[in-house]
Amino acid sequence: MISIGRIRVMNKQKNKKTGQYLKRTKNADRAECGWCQYKTQTREHLFRHCKEWKPQQKILWGEVRKETGGGKDRFTVRDLFADE
């Protein structure tokens, strides 16, 4: 599986606070997305659907494909964080 460290590095590229943000929301699915105001904020939303996170999603799923040969259709976001 893709390492959480790699994801953190990607987060840094966009926003230093994002890592903390993810940590804070790790086990809590907040009511509303802080990025695009989508009604439900989940990691699933951030890493697959959020339009504000498109650049990171592209990097993330690109890395996943490179490392595993599988993509978005094969893994859930939960899988990616399985080593946490």
Instruction: List residues binding Zn ion (CB under 5 A).
Output: 33, 35-36, 38, 50
Contact 32, 52 (CB under 8 A): no
Residue 34 or 62: which CB sits closer to Zn ion? 34
| Sign, CA torsion 21/12/73/45 | positive
The least CB distance from residue 69 to Zn ion, in Å, is 28
> Which C-beta is closer to Zn ion: that of 30 or that of 66?
30
| Separation of CA 30 from chain center | 15
CB of 73 to Zn ion, least distance (A): 21
Which residue lies nearer to Zn ion by CB, 41 or 80? 41
DSSP state of 6: H
